[in-house]
Structure 1
Amino acid sequence: MSFFGIINIYGQNNLEKQFIDVESKVIEWRQHFHQNPELSNREFKTANTIAEHLEALGLEVSTGIAHTGVVGLLKGNSSGKTIALRADIDALPVTERNDLSYKSTIETEFLGTKTGVAHACGHDAHTAILMGVAEILSKNKDQIKGTVKFIFQPAEEGPPPGEEGGSKLMIKEGVLENPKVDAIFGLHIRSGVDVGQIHYKPGGAMAAVERFTINVKGKQTHGSEPWLGVDPILISAKIIDGLQTIISRESELINEAAVISVGKITSGVRFNIIPESAELIGTLRTLDPKMKTHIMKRMKAMTETIAKAYGGEASIVFENFTAVTYNNHNLVSQMLPSLKQVAGQNNVLQIKAETIGEDFSYYQEKIPGFYFYLGGKPKNTTNPPLHHTPDFLIDESGLILGVKAFTQITFDFLNN
C-alpha cells in the first residue's frame, strides 16, 4: 500500500495542499542559497539557515558534524526502521554568468586564484528540497512508523587540500548510527533531464573517482640546446598520449566504461628554458573494480617506463575521491513503485551508468542506498547549460517532484 493509500485510510487527505503550500518556500530557499553560496567546509551561514528551520519544526538537531554538517531527527509516533535522506550543501569556485535576479556575486580566493562562488551543480536545490520534505513529514509524523534522519552534508565536491570532509567524515563522526540507519536515499537535479522525469540505474550508477598526480623529472638546459638536457614537457606529452592507449587498447569497454583525463599541466618559467620538472594532475573514472585495478597498475608502469625511455624519471600517486555509486538492487525494486506513484509510470526511466562521481557512494558502502536523478531542464532549451559551468541553470518547477519523491519513499519504506 502506498503512502497516499495510508493517508486516505486515516482521513488526512490534505497532503497535496501541503505540497502546494511548501513549493513556494522551497523555491525561495533555493534562491536564497543560490545567492549566498559557500565553498566546501565553509558552509557556515548555509548550515545556520538549515538548523534554524529544522529546530522550528521541532526536530532533534545536531550541528557541526564534519565541520558544517547538520542532521535533523524526526521520530514517528511508533517505533520501526530508520531511513536517511541526504542533501549536499556546498557550492563551487565558479563565476556565474547569467541575468538571474538572485545571481551570486560572491567572490573569494580558491587555491591562490581569485574566483566567483556559485551553486553551479544544483546543491542549493537539493538543500531546499530536503528542507521542504522535513516540513511535510514533521506535519505528518503521526503517520510515521520509525525514524527519519535528514542529513545535510558539506563538502560533496571535496574538502580543501589538507582537510577531511564530505560523506567520509560524516560517516566517521557517526551519522549512520544513533539510531542505526537501515537505508539511505539521495537525489540530484539534472539540467539535461526533462522536468517531471526521474532517471535511475540499478547497480553501478556512477563511477569511482581517483585523482592522480604525475611528477616528471628531467634535466634543465637552454632552449637552444635541448640535446644537453632532458625535456620533461616532451616526456609529459608522451605519457599523456600513452595513458590514452590503456583505455582505447587495453580496457574491456564492452564490460564497463572507463576514462583517463589529464586536467592540469604545470612546468617551466620562461620561453627559452627547458625546465627541470613537470607536474600532471588528472582523474581516472571506473565502474568495475577489476578494471580499476588493472588500469592503475598499467598507468604506473607506463608512466615510469616512458619517462625512462626518454632519459628522465616519473612517479604517479593516486588519491581516491569516490567509490562506485552502487544502487542496491533490492532497494531499487522495492522503491520504484513509490517513484512511479508521484512521477507517473512513463516518467521514471532507467538509464545507463555515467562516469561522473558522487561521494554518496561511501554511504552505500556501509548500508543499502538508492540515488536517482531529478529533472530540471530549463524550458525551451535544446542544449541545456552543463553542470559545473558558469551558465548552469535549472527550471525550479521541477523541485516539488523531489519533495514528493522523498516523501513517498519515506512513508512507503517505513510503513510497508
Structure 2
Amino acid sequence: MLIKKLQYPLLFCFGLLATTTTLAQELDPEIAAAAKEIENKVIEWRRDIHQNPELSNREFETAKKIAKHLKSLNIEVTENVAKTGVVGILKGDKPGKTVALRADIDALPVTERTDVPFKSTVKTTFLDTEVGVSHACGHDTHVAILMGVAEILAKHKNKINGTVKFIFQPAEEGPPPGEEGGAKLMIKEGVLKNPDVDAIFGLHINAGTPVNMIKYKPGGTMAAVERFVINVKGTQTHGSAPWSGVDPIMISAKIIDGLQTIISREAPLVDEAAVITVGKITSGVRFNIIPESAEMIGTVRTLDPKMRELIIRRMKEMVPAIAKAYNAEATIEFQNNTSITYNDPDLVKQMLPTIQAVAGKQNVILAKATTGGEDFSYFQEVVPGFYFFLGGKPETLEKAAAHHTPDFYIDESGLLLGVKVMSQLTLDYLNAQ
C-alpha cells in the first residue's frame, strides 16, 4: 500500500560514522533512487512499530519483525542478543573492514496524546503502575531507517568493500530493575566481535531540529549519566527539642548546598558543562518528629572524562565530611547509566564531507553538546564512533514537544534523508579504506 508522505511525529534517529581519505562528494545515484523507491515502505514500517510499542527487554514482536525482514534479504541473522536484540551481518562482494550501524528498538512508559491514525493505545504495568506505552523518543524511526538501509545495501553488495553489521539494540532506555540489558550487555555478549568492528555509526531523530537538517559535534556530544544515592543517619528526637537529636533533613540541605559548590567553584565549566541534581528526598513521617534518617537520589551529568572524575571524587569526599561536621554519618553510592557519547574527532572530520554532500552543506550544523545521555556511548568506548541528530520538526510547527512526553511528534518526511545518509556513510567508509 502506498503511503502519503506525512507530517506526523518521529523521534531521535542515529547516524553513521566512517574513516576515509577520499569521500564521495555526492550521493550515489543508484543509492538515491533505491532510497526513494522504498520511502513509503520505511514509513509503513515505522507506523507499524509505532502502533505496537514494547518496553525495554520486552521487545519480542519488534525483534521478530526485524529478524524476518533481514532474513528475507539473505542477511545472516542472530536473534536473542542481549535478550531481545537482533544482529545482521552483510558481507560485501569484496573484502575490507567492518562497520556497525546501530538502531535502538525499545519504547517508553508514556501515554501517547498525539492525534495520528497510528497512535499507540498499548497499556502495560510498569513498576506496579498501569501506564501507556509509546515511542516517545523516536526509536521506531531508528528501526525503520536501519531496516531500509539494510534493504538497500543488501541489493547493492557489489558496491561494498567489507562487511556491514546491523545492530538492533534493546533497552536503550535502561533495563527493568534487577535485569541486565542495552548496549552494555550486547558488548558483553560479543556484538562488536566476529567479525571485529572497526567503526560504528548511530543517529537519533530530533523533534526540535527542522526536518532535513542534521546536527553534529566532535568530541563529547551527550553526557555521561550517573545516578547517586545518599543516605544520612542522624538521631531521632521530638521536633520541639532539636538539640536533643541530630537532624538528617537539615544536614541533607547542607549537603545539597555543598554539592553545588563543586559545580560553581571547582569544575572548569569553560571546558564543558556539568550538572549535579538531587531529584528526590525521602525522610520523616510526622510534622513534630525529627527523623533518624534521610535519603537523597540524584544525577550527575558530565561531558569531559577528567571533569567527571573530579566531580565524583569530590562528592565522595564532601558528603561524609559535611555529615560529620554536624555529628551525623552519610554514605554515597554511584551507578553509571551511560558514559560520555564521544564522537571521535578524526572520524567526524573524515565523514563530514559525505554528510554535507547528501544533506546539503547548508543543512549540516555544528551543534552544542547536550546533557542528555545515550548508551550508544558504550560502543564508542570500544571502537571509534560517530553519533548525530536527524531533524524531524515539521516546517509548519513553531515549537515541538520534547522527547519523552505524551505529545512527542515528528515529520516522517525526514526519514528519507536518514536512509540516504546512513547508506552513503557506510559505503564511503568501507570503500575508502
CA distance in 1, matches of 2:363, 2:27: 23
Aligned to 1:131: 147
Aligned AA (1:42): R
The answer to whether the 8 Å contact 2:223/2:302 transfers is yes
Deviation at 1:241, TM superposition (A): 2.1
Q: How does 1:55-70 map to 2 (within 5 A)?
A: 55-70=71-86
Aligned to 2:273: 257
Aligned to 2:412: 396
Deviation at 1:6, TM superposition (A): 9.3
**What is the percent sequence identity of the aligned residues?**
68
TM-score (norm 2): 0.90
Aligned to 1:359: 375
Aligned residues: 411
Aligned AA (1:391): D
Deviation at 1:79, TM superposition (A): 1.2
1:165 to 166, 170, 181: 181
Instruction: State the Cα deviation string for residues 136-180 of structure 1 (Å, max 9, x = none).
Output: 111111221111100001111122222211111111111111111
1:221–1:100 Cα change, 3 Å: farther
CA distance in 2, matches of 1:369, 1:389: 28
Give the stretch that moved more between structures: 238-247 or 83-92: 238-247
2:360 to 336, 341, 344: 344
Q: How does 1:233-244 map to 2 (within 5 A)?
A: 233-244=249-260
Instruction: State the Cα deviation string for residues 350-394 of structure 1 (Å, max 9, x = none).
Output: 112222211111111111111111001133233211112222211
Q: 1:44 aligned to 2:60? A: yes
Give the stretch that moved more between structures: 346-355 or 106-115: 106-115
1:306–1:97 Cα change, 3 Å: farther
Instruction: State the Cα deviation string for residues 156-215 of structure 1 (Å, max 9, x = none).
Output: 112222221111111111111111111110001111111111111112222211111111
CA distance in 2, matches of 1:189, 1:247: 31
Aligned to 2:96: 80
CA distance in 2, matches of 1:271, 1:108: 37
The answer to whether the 8 Å contact 1:89/1:152 transfers is yes
CA distance in 2, matches of 1:141, 1:164: 35
CA distance in 2, matches of 1:5, 1:228: 76
SS in 2 for 1:216: strand
Deviation at 1:93, TM superposition (A): 1.8
Aligned AA (2:72): A
CA distance in 1, matches of 2:122, 2:44: 19
Aligned to 1:314: 330
Aligned to 1:71: 87
Aligned to 2:19: none
Deviation at 1:5, TM superposition (A): 7.1
Instruction: State the Cα deviation string for residues 311-344 of structure 1 (Å, max 9, x = none).
Output: 3221100111222111112211211111111100
1:154 to 170, 183, 194: 170
Q: How does 1:23-34 map to 2 (within 5 A)?
A: 23-34=39-50
SS in 2 for 1:366: coil
Q: 1:19 aligned to 2:23? A: no
Aligned to 1:205: 221
The answer to whether the 8 Å contact 2:26/2:358 transfers is no
1:220–1:203 Cα change, 3 Å: same
Aligned AA (1:349): I
CA distance in 2, matches of 1:215, 1:82: 47
RMSD: 1.9
SS in 1 for 2:381: helix
Aligned to 1:185: 201
Q: Which has the higher contact order (CA 8 A, sep 6+)?
A: 2
Give the stretch that moved more between structures: 351-360 or 220-229: 220-229
Aligned to 1:10: none
The answer to whether the 8 Å contact 1:3/1:411 transfers is no
Aligned to 2:15: none
Deviation at 1:222, TM superposition (A): 4.0
Give the stretch that moved more between structures: 168-177 or 294-303: 294-303
Deviation at 1:224, TM superposition (A): 4.5
1:284–1:339 Cα change, 3 Å: same
Aligned AA (1:81): K
2:119 to 93, 103, 124: 103
Give the stretch that moved more between structures: 65-74 or 240-249: 240-249
Give 5+ residue unaligned stretches, structure 1. Answer: 8-12
Aligned to 1:280: 296
Aligned AA (1:40): S
CA distance in 2, matches of 1:6, 1:398: 16
